[in-house]
A and B are shown apart, each in its own frame.
Chain A
Amino acid sequence: MSRFSDTPRRRLMDALWPWLCAASVALSLLMLAALLALLVVRGLGHFWPATLEEITLRSGDSVAGQPTREAPLPQADGFERLYFTANRDIDGASWRWVNLDDIASRSTPSDLIRLERNPWGDFIGRLAGVETGGQLLREDQAWRYLTQALALPQAERPDAELLLVTSDGQTLRQPLSNFSQALAPNAMSWWQKIHTWSRNVWQFLSQGPRAANTGGGVWPAIFGTVLMVILMSVIVTPFGVLAAIYLNEIAHQNRLTRLVRIGVRNLAGVPSIVYGVFGLGVFVYGIGGTLDSWFFSDTLPSPTFGTGGLLWASLTLALLTLPVVIVATEEGLARIPDAQREGAVALGATRLEMLVRIVLPMAIPAMLTGVILAVARAAGEVAPLMLVGVAKLAPQMPVDGEFPYLHLERKFMHLGYHLFDTAFHGEDVQAAIPLVYATALLLVLIVLVLNLTAIFLRHYFRRQRGSEC
């Protein structure tokens, strides 16, 4: 009679299924760990001053560069290795694939240096000398002079010319003002490397992009992201809380309210790109276009508010995250026992006083959680921004010393979009990839930290309130 059959085959399957399920937990964790490990290793590893190699080919040529990766040859057996050789002004390219069979010898001479410069990107080779004021410095003296000069601020650097020699013996002469950093990674101690690493990380966080986003830092993108998110939370918090209070405290709890509540909850699942379309159609073309024709008609047809900008992006994301805040706040309001409200009213408080003095203070943790979750969602969202105002390279920061200081109509840079654009539309993707990893790591860190804060806050307040509610 049993519905629970007990044949040997069944028994085997019964014993094995839980293992498949356990493996899917393990697999999910493995994928997550692999993704994070990849980001951390490649993102942080990029800033480590890598060893430079000098190789002699069988043909007698010599190449200096940083070995990047190896891949099997496309048609034949064997492997080839990719070197970052820099020196774009001399070779015309800064990457070179070398067949492993062609390499006669490899060495890491300590006098190889790597110079950051603008234009032409990095230089890898040797320093033959420095000419300054008619005097020619050589060897160690030249190197010391160079590092000291580069430590000075740009304006105070002396006039000088560098004599550089590439690995294959070509010489060139370039003014000191082109250069920004000099490293001799093969001669550095561990301590110096760690120092350089941390300086590079700091530069990445604090500088603007250089050389078509393949070098430099992401400071404008960080700034744009943070500013946009702040504006968004300033907009979304009052409105979200207002709507939640209305739904939970003032509206009659009938069928319509329930429907509205389900509707709001479902809007959290509507794809973000749809919000982007709404933002573009209503905010940018609709409201922005109207504002332009009223106030900025002298600059038309070039639009002021009628194109994507900081304000429209913040508004769109505020709309996108509104359901998150409403749902979280409502949950918090619903957890407050009715006895508290009734007690306040019984003591003669009006509804406003009851809300402001009793209910809202108790619901603050829930609101805070909602806003943090909203910020975390907004910080990682890219798709709607592509429609309403993000730029690959914003010429001006949205905040500056010029009246009115905060320029809501300007386009801005965003970490997520910066990542997308550099990785998929860059000119030299090969060179940009390490920076993309670093940007991705930064973005993930920001979002994870925000989410963790929300989780801990919720946990903390629940525990603290546990005795009251």
Chain B
Amino acid sequence: MTPPRAAVSRQPLRQLKNRIATGLITAGGIGVLLAILAIGVFLIWETLPLLAWDQTFAFSKLSPLAWGTLKAALAAMLFALPIALGAAMYSALFMSARLRSRVKPALEMMEAIPGVVVGFIAGLVLAPWVERHLASTLALLIWLPISAGLAGVLWHMAASRWRKWLPLSWAGLWLLPWLVCMVLLALWFAPLLEQFLLGGDLRRLLEQHWGMDYATRNALIVGIAMGFAVIPSIYALAEDALADVPTSLMEGAQALGASRWQALWKVALPAAGPGIFSAVMIGAGRAVGETMIVLMASGNMALLSVSPFEGMRSMAAAIAIELPEASPGGLTYHHLILAALVLFIFTFLVNTLAEVVRSRMRRRYHKAGRH
């Protein structure tokens, strides 16, 4: 065969072009990567002047912010973890494939809802409502899991005809109306219970007996709102990890006499442990760095309190509020940059840890003979 015909005189030009383009791409690629790395360098560089100042002041200024960040993230994780992990376990192992292919994108859409919208709903709708109905809110938080269990008990007691109509694999959908009814029931019943058991408003009681202040925008609200925002990211990663567990493992366990739940709890969960761990880590990283929700739903008071009914100010929110007003080069400016550096390092480390753990797990499954 004859080689493709190209004018001999043009060959060097082609090679030259190729070399130049390769050089340009390399330069551009490295430049972009350096620009990304520059973020860390810049933050460290701008924090260095702080070394010349008094250290204790920086500490006293940053510690309430650090505590606020932790408190907000903790509240969010407390709310999000059970829901996200429960949802992941259910949809990876119990849900029917058809429903799963619909529910998964729907929950991923949840992640796309901008933080500023969630924050607005939390700060201006949820917070005043919870302030007026504190007892109902707490009752709901306790009652909803119980009512889910109740649904299970009723289902097991129901006639088999009913069970066929309402299978467990579609429960994620048909439990919706049940939950709505239970919410309404709790909302109707809680005020009566409050009146009967406590003899009055729970909020007043908190204030008089335990001396707890109640702020409208508090850790409870932030927990719910930010929990809502991190549920989808934890869910998506944990679900992937669980779905990746080789089915042969589950089948083996069930062949040895385990119930489905036991196979999940004793076999699938430990096997997917690293993946779930990394999901939780990434969720925590998101909760620590989320700005708008905390800014809008927390009241932004720099407090050092453990009460779930008091607000806080997180590092991210402090940066968003104070940095535009801080004069460049001033003490506040450098403090806020230090806060940004802490956020950066924390999330970077957490994510790297999660990534390493996850890729290890992938390699293990690869060896176990899947993919």
Chain A residues packing against B (C-beta within 8 Å)? 2-4, 11, 14-33, 35, 38-39, 71-72, 239-240, 242-243, 245-247, 250-251, 260, 262-267, 269-278, 280-282, 285, 308, 319, 322-323, 326, 347-348, 350-353, 355, 376, 379-383, 386-387, 416-417, 419-420, 423-424, 429, 433, 436, 440, 443-444, 447-448, 451-452, 455
Give the shortest distance, in Å, between A231 (CB) and chain B (any CB).
Answer: 17
A182 to B61, CA, bound (A): 55
A322 touches B32 (CB 8 A): yes
A337 to B265, CA, bound (A): 39
Subset of 30 A-B contacts with CB under 8 Å: A18-B94, A20-B145, A21-B89, A22-B172, A24-B90, A24-B148, A25-B95, A26-B173, A28-B110, A28-B231, A29-B107, A29-B176, A35-B228, A240-B32, A250-B29, A265-B351, A266-B351, A269-B348, A270-B39, A274-B347, A277-B337, A282-B38, A282-B42, A308-B324, A348-B3, A351-B22, A380-B115, A386-B324, A443-B117, A447-B114
Question: For residue A455, which residues in chain B have a CB less than 8 angstroms away from its CB?
Answer: 105
- One of B52-60, B289-297, B302-310 at the interface: B289-297
**Which of A4, A251, A348, A423 is within 8 Å of B258, CB to CB?**
A4
Apart from A246-B28, A270-B39, A387-B323, 12 more pairs, CB < 8 Å? A19-B152, A20-B152, A28-B232, A29-B103, A271-B347, A272-B289, A277-B43, A277-B337, A281-B337, A285-B328, A352-B22, A424-B123
Chain B residues packing against A (C-beta within 8 Å)? 3-4, 6, 14-15, 17-18, 21-22, 25-26, 28-30, 32-33, 35-39, 42-43, 46, 82-87, 89-91, 94-95, 103, 105-107, 109-110, 112-121, 123-125, 132, 144-145, 147-149, 151-153, 155-156, 168, 171-173, 175-176, 178-180, 228, 231-232, 235, 253, 256-262, 265-266, 282, 285-286, 288-292, 295-296, 316, 319-320, 323-324, 328, 336-337, 340, 343-344, 347-348, 350-352, 355-356
Query: What 6 A-B pairs are tightest by C-beta distance, nearest first?
Result: A246-B29, A271-B289, A380-B114, A23-B148, A19-B152, A24-B86
A282 to B296, CA, bound (A): 27
Given A251-B29, A447-B112: A347 and B4 interface contact (C-beta under 8 Å) = yes
* Chain B contact surface mostly: helix
Quick one: closest B residue to A455, CB to CB?
A: B105
Question: For residue B152, which residues in chain A have a CB less than 8 angstroms away from its CB?
Answer: 15-16, 18-20
Question: For residue A239, which residues in chain B have a CB less than 8 angstroms away from its CB?
Answer: 28, 32
Given A4-B258, A322-B32, A440-B120: A22 and B148 interface contact (C-beta under 8 Å) = yes
Question: For residue B145, which residues in chain A have a CB less than 8 angstroms away from its CB?
Answer: 20, 23
Given A26-B179, A420-B292: A444 and B319 interface contact (C-beta under 8 Å) = no
**Which of A2, A383, A387 is within 8 Å of B257, CB to CB?**
A2
Give the shortest distance, in Å, between B317 (CB) and chain A (any CB).
Answer: 8
B90 touches A266 (CB 8 A): no
Question: For residue A243, which residues in chain B have a CB less than 8 angstroms away from its CB?
Answer: 28-29, 32-33
Question: For residue A20, which residues in chain B have a CB less than 8 angstroms away from its CB?
Answer: 86, 145, 148-149, 152
Given A266-B351, A273-B291: A242 and B266 interface contact (C-beta under 8 Å) = no
A351 to B16, CA, bound (A): 11
A28 to B351, CA, bound (A): 25
Question: For residue A350, which residues in chain B have a CB less than 8 angstroms away from its CB?
Answer: 14-15, 17-18
**Which of A25, A266, A433, A444 is within 8 Å of B103, CB to CB?**
A25
